[in-house]
Amino acid sequence: MIYHIFYPLASTFTAFNVFRYITFRTIYAGLTALLICFFLGPWVIRKLQEMQVGQFIREDGPANHHKKAGTPTMGGSLVIFSVMVSTFLWAQLTNPYVWIVLFCTLGFCAIGFIDDYLKQVKKCNLGFGVRAKFLFQGLVALMTAVFVYIVPDFSTQVTLPFFKNIQPDLGPAYIPFAMLVIVGTSNAVNLTDGLDGLAIGPVIIAAGTYMLFAYVAGHVKIAQYLQVQYVAGSGEITVFCATLAGAGLGFLWFNSYPAQMFMGDTGSLSLGAALGAVAVITKQEILLVIVGGLFVIEALSVIFQVGFFKMTHGRRIFKMAPLHHHFELKGWEEPKVCVRFWIISITLALISLSTLKLR
* Binding residues for ligand 57M (CB under 6 A): 55, 57-58, 60-61, 65, 68, 73, 190-191, 193-196, 255, 259, 262-265, 268, 302, 305-306, 309, 316, 320-322, 325
- Residue 71 one-letter amino acid: T
To the nearest whole angstrom, how small is the minimum distance from the Cβ of residue 35 to ligand 57M? 22
To the nearest whole angstrom, how small is the minimum distance from the Cβ of residue 259 to ligand 57M? 5
To the nearest whole angstrom, how small is the minimum distance from the Cβ of residue 87 to ligand 57M? 22
| Residue closer to ligand 57M, measured from CB, 195 or 244 | 195
Residue 194 and residue 324 in contact, taking contact as beta carbons nearer than 8 Å:
yes
To the nearest whole angstrom, how small is the minimum distance from the Cβ of residue 354 to ligand 57M? 30
- Report the alpha-carbon distance of residue 196 to residue 193 in Å, rounded: 8
| Residue closer to ligand 57M, measured from CB, 90 or 251 | 251
Using DSSP's 3-state secondary structure scheme, residue 331 falls into coil
To the nearest whole angstrom, how small is the minimum distance from the Cβ of residue 203 to ligand 57M? 12
| Residue closer to ligand 57M, measured from CB, 62 or 161 | 62
CB atoms within 10 A of CB 68: 18
CB atoms within 10 A of CB 269: 33
To the nearest whole angstrom, how small is the minimum distance from the Cβ of residue 190 to ligand 57M? 5
Q: Residue with the closest Cβ to ligand 57M?
A: 61
| Residue closer to ligand 57M, measured from CB, 170 or 302 | 302
| Residue closer to ligand 57M, measured from CB, 58 or 221 | 58
- Report the alpha-carbon distance of residue 172 to residue 156 in Å, rounded: 8
| Residue closer to ligand 57M, measured from CB, 65 or 133 | 65
Q: Which residues of 215-229 are buried (b: 16+ CB within 10 A; e: fewer)?
A: bbbbbeeebeeeebb
Residue 187 contacts by C-beta under 8 Å, 6 or more apart in sequence?
Answer: 137, 269, 272, 299
- Report the alpha-carbon distance of residue 357 to residue 222 in Å, rounded: 12
Residue 185 and residue 292 in contact, taking contact as beta carbons nearer than 8 Å:
yes
Using DSSP's 3-state secondary structure scheme, residue 69 falls into coil
To the nearest whole angstrom, how small is the minimum distance from the Cβ of residue 103 to ligand 57M? 22
| Residue closer to ligand 57M, measured from CB, 91 or 205 | 205
Residue 45 contacts by C-beta under 8 Å, 6 or more apart in sequence?
Answer: 72, 75, 254, 260, 261
